[in-house]
Amino acid sequence: MPSTPAPAGAAPDVHARTLRCAIIGTGAVAHLHARAVAQHPRAALVAVTDLDRTRAEAFAAEHGGHVHDTLEALLAAERPDVVLVCTPPGAHRAQTLAAFAAGAHVVVEKPPAPSLDELDEMRAAAAAAGRRLAVVFQQRTGTAAAHVKRLLAAGALGRPLLAVCETLWFRGDDYFAVPWRGRWETEGGGTTLGHGIHQIDLLAYLLGDWASVEGRLWRLDRETQTEDASTATVTFAGGAVAQVVTSAVSPRQVSAIRIDTQKATVTVDHLYGHGHDDWKITPAPGFESEAEGWALPADEERSDHAPLLRDVFDALLADAPLPPTAADPARSFEIVAAIYASAAAGGAPVTPADLAAHPTHRGGFASPVTDMRPAP
């Protein structure tokens, strides 16, 4: 039945249709995507695929959707509106390109790719197909992060000066026993790319463009090809200096950011997601009276996959630009890439211009890791 055109100037009707979603890779993180799809009133999971058909069938039995043996068969049979890519990073580029070629939008898990060149290719394919590429960096979501970003952008807290960004996690040998993990070829990088990128992304979301990175990669205890820890100094174009520490060997785990500004210290301490209780804004002496105006809003939403996918789906339904929580996938990815590039140069500073013209690191992050383990 032909639809009646909306009157000129009318807002697009976001309730006019349902987004048909497909999930590629039905492992751990895919469950968060399926739940987020189920929570959205105008999205439905229509199909899934995984190299492991038994896993895909169990997933479909829990969340719904037809099971297909391959992505190609799924795309041909279902013509989904959105493909949610939940496979290991090494598979993201080819699957994203296939989804764009079939006319779908793509939501891809972090890290978006194992190299800058591959992310460039994915973004170019999105532009050529007239489709959107949204990357899942769900730490940007939540009402507290939005509030702090607004305060910083408005200058309410003065200029950001110093930051500390910690991803101190614990992953045992069993975690690295999964074949694609801990190897340059399949994971693209170690704990910096796989874990630290979440907090680094939130830091860059709050502080903006980066100016330089000096980094080192360490192998402290795990039997991996990639690093199990990294340390870096990151400077931002706005003048802030950050220490960034990432580890997969830290028994008391924390994900934390601290930003000291001219008027306050902002902290968030959590593990995999943050709510208002995890954030604190402490005024500097003399700025106590301004602190009332910095209070978090009364309505709270925690950071999570669901608010990110909700806002992405709403944007797709309204044919609007992606929300800031899903846009600019390259900024934090570049900081991570620069940590690897700097480590490859013995810890020398790397700038955005260095990275843009880097002879090898746009193609992959494999870098020397300093092994600190005692000789056997």
Ligand X SMILES: NC(=O)c1ccc[n+]([C@@H]2O[C@H](COP(=O)([O-])OP(=O)(O)OC[C@H]3O[C@@H](n4cnc5c(N)ncnc54)[C@H](O)[C@@H]3O)[C@@H](O)[C@H]2O)c1
User: What is the closest distance, in whole angstroms, from the C-beta atom of residue 337 to ligand X in the complex?
Assistant: 16
145 binds ligand X (CB under 6 A): no
312 binds ligand X (CB under 6 A): no
Residue in 84, 97, 1 with CA at minimum distance from that of residue 40:
84
User: What is the closest distance, in whole angstroms, from the C-beta atom of residue 280 to ligand X in the complex?
Assistant: 23
Q: Which of residues 67-96 bind ligand X (CB under 6 A)?
A: 86-89, 91
Number of neighbours of residue 69 by Cβ within 10 angstroms: 12
User: What is the closest distance, in whole angstroms, from the C-beta atom of residue 370 to ligand X in the complex?
Assistant: 24
Helix 71-78 / helix 92-101 crossing angle, nearest 10 deg: 20
Tokens (6 digits) for 284: 């500097």
| Alpha carbon 209 to chain centroid, angstroms | 16
Q: Which of 21, 22, 26, 206 binds ligand X (CB under 6 A)?
A: 26
Binding mask 160-199 for ligand X (x = CB under 6 A): ------------------x---------------x-----
Q: Which of 110, 171, 263, 331 binds ligand X (CB under 6 A)?
A: 110
User: What is the closest distance, in whole angstroms, from the C-beta atom of residue 305 to ligand X in the complex?
Assistant: 7
CB hemisphere CA count around 261 (13 angstroms): 25
User: What is the closest distance, in whole angstroms, from the C-beta atom of residue 31 to ligand X in the complex?
Assistant: 8
User: What is the closest distance, in whole angstroms, from the C-beta atom of residue 146 to ligand X in the complex?
Assistant: 18
Length of the chain: 376
**Is the Cβ–Cβ distance between 44 and 66 less than 8 Å?**
no
- Which residues sit opposite 85 in a β-bridge? 24, 108
User: What is the closest distance, in whole angstroms, from the C-beta atom of residue 272 to ligand X in the complex?
Assistant: 7
Cα 345 to Cα 137: distance, rounded to the nearest angstrom: 28
User: What is the closest distance, in whole angstroms, from the C-beta atom of residue 336 to ligand X in the complex?
Assistant: 12
Q: Which of 35, 42, 55, 79 binds ligand X (CB under 6 A)?
A: 55
Residue in 128, 126, 131 with CA at minimum distance from that of residue 113:
126
Stretch that binds ligand X, among 20-28, 222-230, 237-245, 321-329 (CB under 6 A): 20-28
Which DSSP symbol is given to 11? Answer: P
35 binds ligand X (CB under 6 A): no
- Which residues sit opposite 257 in a β-bridge? 165, 268
Rounded to the nearest 10°, the torsion over CA 325, 330, 333, 334 is -140
Stretch that binds ligand X, among 24-32, 336-344, 347-355, 356-364 (CB under 6 A): 24-32
Region of 214 please: left (phi>0), alpha (psi -120 to 50) or beta: beta
24 binds ligand X (CB under 6 A): yes
- CB nearer ligand X, residue 96 or residue 212: 96
Nearest residue relative to ligand X (C-beta): 27
Tokens (6 digits) for 324: 């800031």
Find all residues with CB under 8 Å of 265, minimum gap 6, and list them: 258, 259, 280, 281, 282, 284
- CB nearer ligand X, residue 50 or residue 311: 50
Residue in 103, 153, 172 with CA at minimum distance from that of residue 131:
103
User: What is the closest distance, in whole angstroms, from the C-beta atom of residue 59 to ligand X in the complex?
Assistant: 8
Q: Is the peptide bond before 324 cis (omega within 30 degrees of 0)?
A: no
29 binds ligand X (CB under 6 A): yes
CB hemisphere CA count around 195 (13 angstroms): 30
- CB nearer ligand X, residue 160 or residue 194: 194
Stretch that binds ligand X, among 44-52, 73-81, 223-231, 319-327 (CB under 6 A): 44-52
- CB nearer ligand X, residue 29 or residue 161: 29
Cα 229 to Cα 369: distance, rounded to the nearest angstrom: 9
- CB nearer ligand X, residue 26 or residue 246: 26
Number of residues that bind ligand X (CB under 6 A): 23
Residues lying near ligand X in the complex (CB under 6 A) are found at 24-30, 49-52, 55, 86-89, 91, 109-110, 136, 138, 178, 194
